[in-house]
Structure 1
Amino acid sequence: MGELGLNKIFGALLATALGLMALMQLPGLVFGGAGGGHGEAHGEEMTLSQTMCSQFHHCVDIAEAASAGAVAEAVFDLGAALASADTARGERIFAGQCSTCHTITPGGANGTGPNLNNIVMANKAHMEGFNYSGPMANAEGQWSYENLDAWLKSPAGYMKGTSMSFAGLKKDADRANVIAYLAANTVNAAPFPAPLAAAEAVEGETVPAEGEVVPAEGEAVPAEGEAAPAEGETAPAEAPAEEVVPT
């Protein structure tokens, strides 16, 4: 065999060895390293908070920051809603959602539910002879405006075990309109509750009486019995003490 033949054999062996080496390195190239390194990478992972702290020096707990933005639930002002309620709108809601089971005319017959004439401030089981469910028959108290509002919002939530299947009126304005209509059909109905104060006084702050003048910031408060200076008038300076002449 000549030198050319030996070179061909050597070249073939070398190509085979290089091919085997390439196949051995292929998994590492495809999957980004050997199997042991994959587990180590997971062990070195950091949370979002740790990453923010290390890279941007912003060491705030992400969960706490999210909870700090919670918005307090608004308080429903029943008094204000009733003061601006639309009785005609309440009548339409009653006709559409309540009249199937209830009448409201004076002396009207009971249906699936009792007649609701003169319901405001009546006892909860107010209609004699009507077959109330057990919870309603044993319920104490009266149908105040607050109780009517809670009942109309969710009868089942207000009184567990009631036989009334009505889901309730979820909109505050709808309930206020219906309650105003019930009050219009109650003889000598009680006055609506007063609206909540638009802005409550700061704790410890004295609220001036009606007609009382509040001095501006930095202005002296006149002593009791002393008249306050008129607008634009300068308050007189304190009178000098009586000078004593030596004898």
Structure 2
Amino acid sequence: MGELGLNKIFGALLATALGLMALMQLPALVFGDSGAHHGDDHGAEQTLSEKMCSQFHYCVEIAEAASADAAEEVFDLGAALAIADLSRGERLFAGQCATCHTIAPGGANGTGPNLHNTVGASKAHIAGFNYSAAMNAAEGEWSYENLDAWLKAPASYIRGTSMSFAGVKRDQDRANVIAYLAANTENALAFPEPRAAAEGEAVPADAAAEPAEGEGATEATDIALPPAEGEVAPAEEVEPT
């Protein structure tokens, strides 16, 4: 091989070496020396995060937005009860709860206990009903706040309950059912004050909106359906609904 061929090979090797060196220095050019120091990838990510906060203030803005959203999502039970729709609460109860519960005065217990005079009563107040061990051990009364927590997620509120019920996820639907329970409770407790009234602010006078056209009974599916034909209902049922 001649001298010209050797020079070409040497030149190619030199160009390759220079290219590799340039690639190794690229992180330092993009992120700065601290990002590529000692080849520490975590350092580069940390530096990038710090630059985002210091140059663009993203971290501050995201934190403020999260705090604002959290404040807006607080459920005001008093306000929801103040505009509760009793007829809708009755429909929800009849369509989903009446399979297991009665609510008429002196009504017989079913799979679940009779729910007349429930608001303000102790959590396992019907003598002779076969409550679950978890319900028998539960302390306190069925206040409006406790009813709301129970209807939202029974299994989380009283762990070990025998009632297989997913819960009512819509805030206003829960308030409608609770208001219906209160209407079927003699000398029921007064509704809690809306948070705005408690803080001295004006409370809107608008009434609860009727279901929009096309809603109707389909929205009642927020409450768990009774067991399908062929399924075995729970041996025990805890109150209410």
Q: Same fold (TM over 0.5)?
A: yes
Structure (1 or 2) with the larger CA radius of gyration = 1
TM-aligned CA distance change 1:15 to 1:198, over 3 Å: farther
Aligned equivalent of 2:89: 90
Give 2:20's match in structure 1, choosing from 6, 26, 33: 33
Aligned equivalent of 2:6: 17
- The residue type paired with residue 78 of structure 2 is G
Q: Percent identity?
A: 58
Residue 82 of structure 1 contacts residue 180 of structure 1 at CA under 8 Å; is this kept in 2? Answer: yes
- The residue type paired with residue 86 of structure 1 is D
Q: Which runs of 5+ in 1 are unaligned?
A: 1-11, 203-247
TM-aligned CA distance change 1:112 to 1:63, over 3 Å: same
Q: 2:50 aligned with 1:66, yes or no?
A: no
Aligned equivalent of 1:75: 74
What is the Cα deviation at residue 122 of structure 1? 1.7
Aligned equivalent of 1:228: none
Where is the helix percentage greater, Structure 1 or Structure 2? 2
Residue 118 of structure 2 contacts residue 142 of structure 2 at CA under 8 Å; is this kept in 1? Answer: yes
TM-aligned CA distance change 1:156 to 1:52, over 3 Å: closer
Q: What is the distance in 2 between the residues matched to 1:132 and 1:153?
A: 20
What is the Cα deviation at residue 50 of structure 1? 5.7
What is the Cα deviation at residue 130 of structure 1? 0.5
Q: Secondary structure at the match of 1:69?
A: helix
Aligned equivalent of 1:177: 176
Aligned equivalent of 1:106: 105
What is the Cα deviation at residue 89 of structure 1? 0.8
> Map of 1:1-247 to 2, 5 A cutoff?
13-28=2-17, 32-34=19-21, 38-39=23-24, 41-42=26-27, 44=33, 45=35, 47-48=47-48, 51=51, 63-70=59-66, 71=68, 72-73=70-71, 74-198=73-197, 200=199
Q: What is the distance in 2 between the residues matched to 1:28 and 1:165?
A: 69
In the alignment of these two chains, the number of paired residues is 183
Q: What is the distance in 1 between the residues matched to 2:150 and 2:50?
A: 50
TM-score, normalization: structure 1?
A: 0.63
TM-aligned CA distance change 1:17 to 1:140, over 3 Å: closer
Task: Specify which structure has the bigger relative contact order, considering alpha-carbon pairs within 8 angstroms and separated by 6 or more residues.
Answer: 2
Q: What is the distance in 1 between the residues matched to 2:52 and 2:196?
A: 45
Q: What is the distance in 2 between the residues matched to 1:141 and 1:51?
A: 53
Q: Which runs of 5+ in 2 are unaligned?
A: 36-43, 202-241
Question: CA-atom RMSD, angstroms?
Answer: 2.9
- The residue type paired with residue 67 of structure 1 is A
TM-score, normalization: structure 2?
A: 0.64
Q: Secondary structure at the match of 2:195?
A: coil
Aligned equivalent of 1:227: none
Aligned equivalent of 1:212: none
Q: Secondary structure at the match of 1:81?
A: helix
Q: What is the distance in 2 between the residues matched to 1:129 and 1:154?
A: 26
Q: Secondary structure at the match of 1:103?
A: coil
Q: What is the distance in 2 between the residues matched to 1:26 and 1:112?
A: 84
What is the Cα deviation at residue 42 of structure 1? 4.4
Q: What is the distance in 1 between the residues matched to 2:191 and 2:9?
A: 93
Q: Which runs of 4+ in 1 moved over 6 A?
A: none
Q: What is the distance in 2 between the residues matched to 1:126 and 1:28?
A: 85
Deviations 1:53-85 (A, max 9, x none): 9xxxx5577545532332233432212111110
